Structure 1
Amino acid sequence: MKVYSDTKIYIVAPAGTATGGPELLHQLGYHLRNDLNLNAYMFYQPSDHPDPVHEAYEMYRVPYVDEIKDSERNIIIVPELFQLMKVMDAYTNIRKIIWWLSVDNFYISKFGKDSPFKSYFYMLINNFAYRFFNKEIFDIPNIAMEHYQRYNLNNDKTVVTADLHLVQSYYAMKHLKDQGFSNVEYLSDYINEKFLKKEINLDRKEDLVVYNPRKGYRFTSKLIKRLKNYNFKLKAIENMSREEVLETLEKAKVYIDFGNHPGKDRLPREAAMMGCCIIVGKKGSAKFNDLPIPAKFKLDTNENINTIIKSIVDCVENYNKNFPKFEDYREIIKEEPLKFKKDLARIFKV
Structure 2
Amino acid sequence: MAYDKYCPVPAERFALTSDHLVVLPEVLAHLHRAYAPAQAAVWWLSVDNAFHERAALLNEKVRLELFADRGLRHWAPTFYAREFLRRQGVPEIAMLSDHVDDQFTTWQPEGPGPDAVVAYNPRKGGELAAAFFARHPDLTPRPITGLDRRGVWAAFRRARVYVDFSHFPGREFMPREAAASGAVIFVRNRGAAQFYDDYPLPDAYRFTDAALEDGSLYARVSAALAEPESHWLVQESLRQERSVGGRDVRAAGGSIGGAAQRRACAKIHGSGPRPSHCAMKRSTCPSAISGGTRMGRVPSAR
> What range is the shorter-chain TM-score in?
0.7 to 0.9
CA distance in 1, matches of 2:146, 2:91: 40
**2:85 matched to which residue of 1?**
176
CA distance in 1, matches of 2:161, 2:11: 43
Extract unaligned runs of 5+ from structure 2: 256-302
Structure 1 window deviating more from structure 2 (99-108 vs 245-254): it is 99-108
1:155 deviates by 2.9
CA distance in 2, matches of 1:295, 1:237: 25
Q: Tell me the amino acid that sits aligned with residue 233 of structure 2.
A: P
Find the residue that maps to 2:22 and give its secondary structure: strand
Matches within 5 A, 1:2-21: none
1:180 deviates by 0.9
CA distance in 1, matches of 2:88, 2:161: 37
Give aligned pairs, total.
253
Matches within 5 A, 1:194-233: 194-200=103-109, 202=111, 205-230=114-139, 233=140
Find the residue that maps to 1:180 and give its secondary structure: coil
2:21 pairs, out of 75, 93, 98, with 75
CA distance in 2, matches of 1:255, 1:168: 23
1:246 deviates by 0.6
Task: List per-residue Cα deviations over 1:104-158 (Å, max 9, x = no partner).
Answer: 22123215x89xxxxxxxxxxxxxxxxxxxxxxxxxxxxxxxxx5x967633559
1:229 deviates by 2.4
CA distance in 2, matches of 1:192, 1:307: 33
1:235 pairs, out of 130, 133, 142, with 142
Task: List per-residue Cα deviations over 1:11-36 (Å, max 9, x = no partner).
Answer: xxxxxxxxxxxxxxxxxxxxxxxxxx
- Does the aligned pair in 2 maintain the 1:153–1:160 contact within 8 Å? no
- Does the aligned pair in 2 maintain the 1:154–1:160 contact within 8 Å? no
1:216 deviates by 1.8
Task: List per-residue Cα deviations over 1:284-341 (Å, max 9, x = no partner).
Answer: 101112111111111111245310100010110011221111112112x13x2xx222
- Does the aligned pair in 1 maintain the 2:111–2:232 contact within 8 Å? no
**1:110 matched to which residue of 2?**
54
Higher RCO by CA contacts (8 Å cutoff, separation 6 or greater): 2
CA distance in 1, matches of 2:23, 2:225: 43
CA distance in 2, matches of 1:153, 1:283: 27
**2:251 matched to which residue of 1?**
346
Matched, 1:286 2:193: yes
Matches within 5 A, 1:1-350: 54=1, 56-82=2-28, 85=29, 88-111=32-55, 154-155=63-64, 160=69, 163-200=72-109, 202=111, 205-230=114-139, 233-289=140-196, 290-303=198-211, 304-331=213-240, 333-334=241-242, 336=243, 339-348=244-253
**2:291 matched to which residue of 1?**
none
Q: Tell me the amino acid that sits aligned with residue 102 of structure 1.
A: S
Instruction: Evaluate the alpha carbon distance shift between residue 326 and residue 152 of structure 1 in structure 2; reply closer, same or farther with a 3 A threshold.
Output: farther
- Does the aligned pair in 2 maintain the 1:89–1:158 contact within 8 Å? no
Identity across the alignment (%) = 23
Task: List per-residue Cα deviations over 1:180-235 (Å, max 9, x = no partner).
Answer: 111311111111100010232548611110111122223222211133124xx211
- Does the aligned pair in 2 maintain the 1:209–1:235 contact within 8 Å? yes
- Does the aligned pair in 2 maintain the 1:167–1:188 contact within 8 Å? yes
Find the residue that maps to 1:279 and give its secondary structure: strand
Extract unaligned runs of 5+ from structure 1: 1-53, 115-147
CA distance in 2, matches of 1:299, 1:153: 35
- Does the aligned pair in 2 maintain the 1:102–1:169 contact within 8 Å? no
Rg larger for: 2
Please give the TM-score of this superposition, normalised by the length of structure 2. Answer: 0.76
Q: Tell me the amino acid that sits aligned with residue 276 of structure 1.
A: A
Task: List per-residue Cα deviations over 1:44-91 (Å, max 9, x = no partner).
Answer: xxxxxxxxxx2x322211212222423112211111123xx4553432
Q: Tell me the amino acid that sits aligned with residue 346 of structure 1.
A: A
